[in-house]
Amino acid sequence: MSLLQYGFERKRINKNDIFQEDQISEDEDNSNKDVKNPRIHEKTFKSKWLAEFSWLRYDEINKRMYCTLCIRHKKKNKFATEGATNISRKSAIKEHTNTKDHKDAEKLEKARIQMKLLQKVHFSSDANTNHIIGIMRAVYFLAKKNLPLKLLPSIVELIKESNSPNLLDGTITYTNHISGHEFLEAMSDTIKEEIWDELSNVTAFGVMIDESTDITTTKHLDIYVSYVTREGILKTRFLCIVPLTSCNAEGITKVLINIFEKRKILPKLVAFASDGASVMLGKNEGVVAKLSRICTYPLIVNHCVAHRLALACKDAKKELSLVRKIYNYFKNSCSYIQQLREIQNLLEDPILKIKKLYEIRWLAWYDAIKNVCNLIPALLRIFKESKNKDGKELYEQLTSWRILAFLYYFYDILEHVTQLKYILLDQNQRFRQKVRAFIDETNPFGNSLIKYMDNVLSFIEQDYDDFTMDILEYSTSIVNELQQRFSTQQLFTSMKILNPREWPKES
């Protein structure tokens, strides 16, 4: 059908008009080419990236990109903290994917999901349950022995090779150290909550604290608690270790208050024990003084008996430069050490090492002095044949009757002090009786000294008199220090009726 049958006519087009229109059109196009349209470059985030990278999150308001995995596992990078600002670059996202932080976060997330699934799984057989229990026991063993969790796969393989029926072979065995860390955290949280539950139900508790420094020189506060349960069981438990931003009395006090106030048990605090440092026991501004101002009850303050004993030895010690010189003589010479071993073998003596005297480890002096005394014959041979000045000087000192006599005496008295130290560390011992017995038994002439003097053919009377004065002075000094630092012995003995260990046992 055509419109022409209804009276419409075709329009006649003039060729000149067509040419003019085309020319005008070309002119307009040419003029437009001379005008450059400015492009606006805006930072744009493509939403399709969210589907490609499941961990990616975009903040529309602040125009920043975040990594949910790094945030969840507390990593320290831009995607986990302030957010990445280069939102228009996909390459920035890929670069983050290849970082160590993100890869570690992915491993931790995989282990977390695995553990979460494990909690929801209904174990279909006792074998699966025993497998998990076996892994957890291995993790607990490593933690108790202060061994790294990286050993977990090796420990599990060792157990399997021992034909243990509890550990199964399978695709999901939870034997990597990341799963081990998750197990350890779960056990730690369970134990910690058990302690807090017991503390919330007791009438009163005491706290024992001490400072420590790790290998990164970061200061920490170790916190132990002591309490009697409602069943009458006396317990001393490790509570936690927290980093210290300030090591003064105010900083330590704030840490303790925050820990116990969160659980609302600060009013139950009645006792405090520490190493006796001034920052702890300062009369006006020490930790005890600050806690006493806010505690409900007056604090029972105790200075650790092991620290008191160490301080007694420190205050009463006599400088023994001879032992240090002997150690320095051997420490940098492999040939001297080898020569010492050969002479020990020749004399059929036990192979002993020359140990260092640490200035702050007073009770470790015993091992150093003991070895020197037992090595006297071998040392005399080495120093007598020595051609250097130090060796000759040491030979002269070791052949001095007075010096050797005091060395053997020091060996005797430190043996008693060391035994007393281990007794005080035993919670089942009554330390008053042990300290009293030590003071009574501290004889200026010990067993090793008497043996030495019996074997000496002769000595100058003046040397003997001077030596007697030396050892009497030293013995008196140690006894006085012990009496001063354990002045509350009678008080603790009188209060033993409050100690559950002293209560009559049911027959």
Note the pLDDT tens digit of each residue in 366-406: 788 888 888 888 888 888 888 888 888 888 888 877 778 77
Question: 309: buried, middle or exposed (CB in 10 Å: 19+, 13-18, 0-12)?
Answer: buried
Half-sphere exposure of 224 (CA within 13 A, CB side): 13
Q: Report the C-alpha gap between 213 and 223 in whole angstroms.
A: 14
Q: Is the pLDDT of residue 429 over 50?
A: yes
Predicted pLDDT at 457: 41
Look at 325 and 466; give whichever has higher pLDDT.
325
Predicted pLDDT at 35: 47
Q: Report the C-alpha gap between 175 and 287 in whole angstroms.
A: 45
Number of other residues whose CB lies within 10 A of the CB of residue 27: 10
Predicted pLDDT at 66: 92
Whose tokens are 């025993």? That residue is 130
CB 290, CB 253: distance < 8 Å: yes
Bridge-based pairing state of the strands 269-274 and 205-213: parallel
Q: Is the pLDDT of residue 257 over 90?
A: yes
Q: Which of 51-55, 220-224, 296-300 has the highest mean pLDDT?
A: 220-224
Note the pLDDT tens digit of each residue in 116-129: 766 655 444 566 77
Secondary structure class of 271 (helix, strand, coil): strand
Predicted pLDDT at 121: 55
Note the pLDDT tens digit of each residue in 285-332: 899 999 999 888 889 888 776 676 666 665 445 456 778 888 888 887
Predicted pLDDT at 21: 46
Buried-state track 267-302, b at ≥16 Cβ within 10 A, e below 16: ebbbbbbbbbeebbbeeeebbbbbbeeebeeebebb
Three-state helix/strand/coil letters over 163-188: CCCCCCCCCCCCCCHHHHHHHHHHHH
Predicted pLDDT at 52: 87
Q: Is the pLDDT of residue 15 over 80?
A: no
Predicted pLDDT at 239: 92
Predicted pLDDT at 374: 85
Class of domain 202-303: alpha beta
The mean pLDDT of 27-55, rounded to a whole number, is 65
Note the pLDDT tens digit of each residue in 62-75: 889 999 999 988 88
Containing 201, the helix (H) or strand (E) segment is: helix 177-201
Q: Report the C-alpha gap between 211 and 219 in whole angstroms.
A: 7
Predicted pLDDT at 25: 45
Q: Give the relative orientation of helices 401-425 and 365-374 as an angle to the nearest 10 degrees.
A: 140
Q: Report the C-alpha gap between 137 and 183 in whole angstroms.
A: 10
In the chain, the percentage of residues whose pLDDT exceeds 70 is 68
What are the extents of the domains in the chain? 48-98, 122-189, 202-303, 314-493
The mean pLDDT of 263-286, rounded to a whole number, is 88
Q: Is the pLDDT of residue 500 over 70?
A: no
CA pseudo-torsion sign 174, 175, 178, 183: positive
CB 314, CB 477: distance < 8 Å: no
CB 349, CB 375: distance < 8 Å: yes
Q: Mark residue 422 as left, alpha or beta (left: phi above 0; alpha: psi -120 to 50; beta: remaining).
A: alpha
Structure tokens at 325: 């010189």
Q: Is the pLDDT of residue 150 over 60?
A: yes
Q: How confident is the model at residue 40 (pLDDT cuts 50, 70, 90)?
A: very low
Predicted pLDDT at 28: 47
Distances (CA, A) of 432 to 272, 412, 500: 20, 22, 17
The mean pLDDT of 80-102, rounded to a whole number, is 88
Average pLDDT, the chain: 76
